[in-house]
C-alpha cells in the first residue's frame, strides 16, 4: 500500500527557509491520478492546506493564498518524492507539517514533522 | 473561499451514547464533504467521503448525511476508541481545500 515518509529539520530560524521532503512508496509521484499535498496543523490555525503538486501530462501546482509567494512544492521523479519549501518563515509558521496524498480527500498521510520557528 | 464551521467545538459523552457533530458550509457544496477522525499524536484518518460514503474498514456505527450547506456526522453506540477530534473538509471548490475547526469528543 502507499506510504509516505517525511524528513526534514524540526527547527528553523526566522527569515530562513523551511524545507521538508516526503518520500513515496507504493505509488509514483508522476501518477496521473494522484495529487501530493502539504498540510499543516497548529492550535491557532487548525488544519491548513498549503498546496499540492500533480502530474496530468504536465506538472501542475496549486498553493494556498495564505502562503502564496513564499511556498514551492516540487516533485522529484528520480527519487519518487516531493518537497515543501517555505521562505521567510516567522514564528507563525510553527506547526506540525504533514504530507498527504489525495485530490478530493486525503486518505494517505505522512507521520507529521513538528517544525518550530525560533532563533 | 468557502468557509467550514463545525459545532460544537467540544462535546462530552459516555460510552454507548449516540452523538451528532454538525458542519456548515458558507455556500452550497452539494455533497462534496469529507469527515476525518484524529487521535492524539496521529495524522487525521479519512472516515467518510462525499458526505455519506463510509471508507473501507470504518465501523458501521459511523454515518454521515447532508447536502448543500448542512452536514452531520453521527456516531451510534460510542466506543472508547471513538474519543478523538473530528474534522470536516470540503472539496466542492478547490483549491483551496478548507477544513472545519474541529470537534473534540471527550469522555
Q: A75 CB near a chain B CB, below 8 Å?
A: no
Read off φ and ψ for residue A107, nearest 5 degrees: -105, -10
**Burial status of residue A33 (CB atoms within 10 A of its CB: 0-12, 13-18, 19 or more):** exposed
Q: Enumerate the residues of chain B whose CB falls inside 8 A of the CB of residue A46.
A: 87, 99-102
Read off φ and ψ for residue A91, nearest 5 degrees: -55, -25
Could you tell me which residues are beta bridge partners of residue B25? Answer: B4
Of A64, A107, A110, the CB nearest to B46: A107
> Per residue of chain A (119 residues), what is the pLDDT tens digit?
999 999 999 999 999 999 999 999 999 999 999 999 999 999 999 999 999 999 999 999 999 999 999 999 999 999 999 999 999 999 999 999 999 999 999 999 999 999 999 99
* Furthest-apart CA atoms within chain A: distance in Å: 42
Of A64, A98, A110, the CB nearest to B96: A64
Which pLDDT score is estimated for B93?
82
Residues 6+ apart with CB under 8 A from B10: B103, B104, B105, B106
What cell numbers appear for B64 in the block? 454521515
DSSP A75-93: EETTTTEEEEEE-S--GGG
Which pLDDT score is estimated for B107?
84
* pLDDT < 50: residue spans in chain B: none
User: What CA dihedral angle connects A28, A34, A35 and A37, to 10 degrees?
Assistant: -60
Eight-state DSSP code of residue B16: T
Q: Are A115 and A20 in contact (CB under 8 A)?
A: yes
Amino acid at each position: 500500500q502507499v506510504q509516505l515518509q517525511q524528513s526534514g529539520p524540526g527547527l528553523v530560524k526566522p527569515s530562513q527557509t523551511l524545507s521538508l521532503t516526503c518520500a513515496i512508496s507504493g505509488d509514483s509521484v508522476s501518477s496521473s491520478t494522484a495529487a501530493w499535498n502539504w498540510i499543516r496543523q497548529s492550535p491557532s490555525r487548525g488544519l491548513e492546506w498549503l498546496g499540492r503538486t500533480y502530474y496530468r501530462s504536465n506538472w501542475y501546482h496549486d498553493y494556498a493564498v495564505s502562503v502564496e509567494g513564499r511556498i514551492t512544492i516540487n516533485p522529484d521523479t528520480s527519487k519518487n518524492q516531493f518537497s515543501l519549501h517555505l521562505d521567510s518563515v516567522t514564528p507563525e509558521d510553527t506547526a506540525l507539517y504533514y504530507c498527504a496524498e489525495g485530490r478530493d480527500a486525503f486518505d494517505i498521510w505522512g507521520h507529521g514533522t513538528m517544525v518550530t520557528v525560533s532563533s | 473561499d468557502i468557509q467550514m464551521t463545525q459545532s460544537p467545538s467540544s462535546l462530552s459523552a459516555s460510552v454507548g451514547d449516540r452523538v451528532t457533530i454538525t458542519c456548515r458550509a458558507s455556500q452550497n457544496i452539494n455533497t462534496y464533504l469529507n469527515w476525518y477522525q484524529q487521535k492524539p499524536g496521529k495524522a487525521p484518518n479519512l472516515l467518510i467521503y462525499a458526505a455519506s460514503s463510509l471508507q473501507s474498514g470504518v465501523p458501521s456505527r459511523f454515518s454521515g448525511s447532508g447536502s448543500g450547506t448542512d452536514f452531520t456526522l453521527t456516531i451510534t453506540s460510542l466506543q472508547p476508541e471513538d474519543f478523538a477530534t473530528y474534522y470536516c473538509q470540503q472539496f466542492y471548490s478547490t483549491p483551496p481545500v478548507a477544513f472545519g475547526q474541529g470537534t473534540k469528543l471527550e469522555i
